[in-house]
Amino acid sequence: PRATPLAGRHALVTAGPTHEPIDPVRYLANRSSGRQGYEIAGALAALGARVTLVSGPVDLPAPPGVALRRVETASQMLAACRDALPADIAVCAAAVADWRVAQEATRKIKKAQGAPPPVLALVPNPDILAELSTPGPDRPALVVGFAAETDSVAQHAAAKRARKGCDWIVANDVRPETGIMGGMENEVILITADGAEQWPRMDKRAVATHLAGRIAAFFTAQRSI
């Protein structure tokens, strides 16, 4: 029989980049592939969870058994996450744009001969992970964030965990020489209240399977208290 330790649990997963419009034809974006978040959504579904995957623009199919909600901007991602609540688990794997253009132009910005290039004023986007981590009746029992760091990975990730108010942080070393950013493999440190745990390098699917297993163990332990 299939093991379904997360049966009856609802998991919310964010994945992919966000696109922040400049005008009807242009946007600000980043290089996130969405791969790690999609794998996590699939791994949680495989353990019996009902999964809502809120995804920015990527070209990946919805994993089996996952309800996919496609969004474009950070504001839309936050709204879709709020809509999906309540959830028992939130995993924020999305690479949310830190800023959006203050005033999206409703018409295409034209290049006028001899005119100076436009200056884009930016405003900060909402922090979805911090918002989902805020104590209250809607807070998921387990909130997991990600941290991409290039140095002092464990220390910076532990500080991020405290700052965001989430329960766990999955930290990875994205220095170019690691080949992790945009690649198929990942090498992560799991930061919890109990400290830091270095996992061996493995492919992103295996990271997802391990993380889903840890999440299932968290709920199994909770049930037995």
Could you please report the per-residue DSSP string of 142-164?
EEEEEEEESSSHHHHHHHHHHHH
Among 12, 147, 215, 216, binds ligand C5P (CB under 6 A): 147
CB nearer ligand C5P, residue 73 or residue 209? 73
Q: Is 127 annotated as a binding residue?
A: yes
Distance, in Å, from the CA atom of 42 to the CA atom of 207, rounded to the nearest integer, reads: 12
Give the count of beta carbons closer than 10 Å to the beta carbon of residue 83.
11
CB nearer ligand C5P, residue 45 or residue 92? 92
Q: Is 125 a catalytic residue?
A: no
**By CB under 6 A, what part of segment 2-21 binds ligand C5P?**
14
Residue 100: which of 20, 16, 24 has the closest Cα?
Answer: 20
Backbone region of residue 152 per phi and psi (left: phi > 0; alpha: psi in -120 to 50; beta: other values): left
- Per-residue string for binding with ligand C5P, 101-140, x by CB under 6 A? ------------------------xxxxx-----------
Q: Is 96 helix (H, G, I), strand (E, B) or coil?
A: coil
Distance, in Å, from the CA atom of 56 to the CA atom of 129, rounded to the nearest integer, reads: 15
Distance, in Å, from the CA atom of 26 to the CA atom of 8, rounded to the nearest integer, reads: 42
Distance, in Å, from the CA atom of 158 to the CA atom of 163, rounded to the nearest integer, reads: 9
Among 27, 38, 146, 219, binds ligand C5P (CB under 6 A): 146
Residue 54: which of 158, 132, 122 has the closest Cα?
Answer: 132
Binding residue count for ligand C5P, defined by CB under 6 A: 14
- Per-residue string for binding with ligand C5P, 66-95, x by CB under 6 A? --------x-----------------xxx-
CB nearer ligand C5P, residue 62 or residue 130? 130
CB nearer ligand C5P, residue 79 or residue 109? 79
Q: Is 192 helix (H, G, I), strand (E, B) or coil?
A: strand
As annotated, the active-site residues are: 30
Residues annotated within a binding site for CTP: 98, 108, 126-129, 146, 160, 164
Q: List contacts with ligand C5P (CB under 6 A).
A: 14, 74, 92-94, 96, 125-129, 145-147
